[in-house]
Each structure stands twice: as structure tokens, then as C-alpha cells.
Structure 1
Amino acid sequence: MSPSSNFFRAARPAFRAREFFFRPKQGSSARFQSTAAGAGSSESWAKRMWNSPVGLKTVHFWAPVMKWALVLAGVSDFARPAEKLSLTQNAALTTTGLIWTRWCLIIKPKNYLLAAVNFFLGIVGIVQCTRIGLYHQSQKGKSLADKAEEVKEAVVKS
């Protein structure tokens, strides 16, 4: 028996304990409430959001905000011709978007901001993969001479 298997066997109960993954701070019963006891409604929304365990100074807020750049890049690619798009890249974005959307709704606490951005990333990827597939389908019936003529016309235009 290797020493590493002994380590994992000893650590298994700690990983199975719920508190290992999520320990709410003392005094926080809701997502955007202040952690100070008795603060109540006297604090502004901005102050509560700043002091929240999933607020403005945490990765739970900024990761989804930054990931919107991927969605916007995918939307801007709608203007590009389908032959210039990468099927593998768009398939990867679609897959990760859909998998992470599901994961964001399973974890505790649920991260709806991250779920939303991943959902839209998956949708943009599906649209792009569909465009690429339709382009490749349209190219199947063309002969080599037709394709050479298209390349010749493109070179003349540029």
C-alpha cells in the first residue's frame, strides 16, 4: 500500500464533510446581508453588497463579470464569415458553457451570475457551431474547380 493512498483514505472524511466546502460566516444568513450582527436595514445596498460573502470584493462576483468578455467576443464573431471560425474552439466554448451552467446551479451557495454567463456562452457557441456546420454542408456539393473559381474571385477583389 502506498503512502499516498493512506493519505487519501485518512482525508476522505474531511472532504465529505459539508463544512469543508462551505462555511458561512457567523451572522450571515442570506447572500447579501451584512455580516455584522444587528446591522439590519440601516446600511445601504452598496455597503451590504461590499460586505457580503459573495459581494463586490469576492471572486463570486468578478469571475462572471470578466467572463462576459467571452460572450461578447462570440457575439462579435457573428459578423465573421463561417469559414473563418474554428469548430473546435466553438465546440469547447459550448461544452464548457453548458456544463458550468449546470454546475453553478448545483453548488451551494448557488451562483446565479456565473450560471447566467455560462448559459449565454453555451447559446453563442451553439449558434456558431450551427453556422459552421451549415457552411461545411454547403461546401460538400461543390467541385474543386468551383472552389478554385471562388478563391480566384476573392483574390481579385482584394
Structure 2
Amino acid sequence: MSARPSYRLFQASRAFFRQPLLRRRINTAAQPEAPAQGGIAKIWNSPVGPKTVHFWAPIMKWALVLTGVSDFYRPTESLSLTQNGALMATGAIWTRWCFVIKPRNIFLAAVNFFLFIVGTTQVTRILIWQRSQAGQPITEEAKALAVEAKDEVTAKTEEAVDAVKKYAGK
């Protein structure tokens, strides 16, 4: 009779240790329920509240957004395409990542989205300025790029069709 409770404990511990380390759930049935919190206490104790890095990282990242916005007033020739391209890419990647991580951090997603918008605006300004320096209108450049892309796609499609025919013929 005494072997039965220890067997249950053994089975429960096996199930617990089979779970990945960071996804283990502890039985909370024996723990008392937390009292209901008011508005400010709820924000203060939130998993993305002011007591965590999930709150302060976006606060500090707003400095990048504000710096990018202040660059709107700089002459375009003094802006860096690679720097603003990096800001744009960072904003896009981390905006998506903010919806994947747990806890989901909407505040961080917002600052990264605005970082993407600022980077996109600056990259667009730089590209338009570079095209105007070349003396060719941006519409002509876009048409030339579209024709090149169409030719590339056509060539790759023909290669793929030839490869399929070659494979099917064997």
C-alpha cells in the first residue's frame, strides 16, 4: 500500500522533468490566489511594467527615434544610407520579434515600428537625392530597374523549366 503514493510521486516527477527547462509549470493549486490589484498596482507589477527591462529598454530606444526625427532637418547629402538602412532593418525585425516573445511587449513593438518608419523615410530621402544627383529622373530609374528585374525573372524561369524538363526526361 505504501508503494502506491511514492509511485505517483515518481510518475509526476518524470512528467515534470521531461518538459524543457524554461517551459516547466509548477502546480499552483496549493498556492493561495493573489488579491485583486488596482490600476497603478496592476501596471507596477505587470510583466512589462516599470520594474522590468521590458519597460526601460523601449524608453531608452525612443532616443534613437527622436534622433532620426531630428535628422529630418539635416541636409540629405550629410545622411548615411547604411546607418539609416540599419535603423530601418532593425525596426522591422524587432517589431515582428516583439509579437513573438513572451511576455508580448506592445510598447517595444511601437518604438521599433516608429524606428522602421523613420529609417524608411530617411532611406527614401537619400535615394531620391542620389538619383537627382545622377541627373536621371526617379521614374526613369524605376522603369529601368523594373525591366532588369523582368529579364532576370524570365531567365530564372527558363532555367527552372529546363531543369524540370531535364529531370522529367531521365
Q: TM-score, normalised by structure 2?
A: 0.61
1:120 and 2:114 correspond: yes
Match of 1:44 in 2: 38
Cα 1:95–1:20 shift into 2, 3 Å: same
CA distance in 2, matches of 1:110, 1:135: 39
Cα 1:112–1:23 shift into 2, 3 Å: farther
| Displacement after TM superposition at 1:139 (Å) | 0.7
- What are the within-5 Å matches in structure 2 for residues 52-63 of structure 1? 52-63=46-57
Q: Which runs of 5+ in 1 are unaligned?
A: 1-13, 28-35, 143-158
Cα 1:22–1:84 shift into 2, 3 Å: farther
1:45-90 Cα distance to aligned partner (Å, 9 max, x none): 2222222222111001111111111111111111111001011100
Higher CA-based Rg: 2
CA distance in 2, matches of 1:122, 1:110: 19
CA distance in 2, matches of 1:128, 1:113: 23
Q: Is the CA contact (8 Å cut-off) linking 1:93 and 1:122 kept in structure 2?
A: yes
Provide the aligned C-alpha RMSD in A: 2.7
CA distance in 2, matches of 1:67, 1:114: 8
- Kindly provide the amino acid, as one letter, of the partner of residue 73 in structure 2: A
CA distance in 1, matches of 2:49, 2:72: 33
CA distance in 2, matches of 1:120, 1:74: 10
**Equivalent position to 1:74, from 68, 71, 76:** 68
Structure 1's consecutive aligned runs of 4 or more residues displaced over 6 angstroms after TM superposition are 21-24
Cα 1:22–1:139 shift into 2, 3 Å: farther
- Percent identity, aligned pairs only, is 59
**Equivalent position to 1:130, from 108, 124, 127:** 124
- Kindly provide the amino acid, as one letter, of the partner of residue 131 in structure 1: R
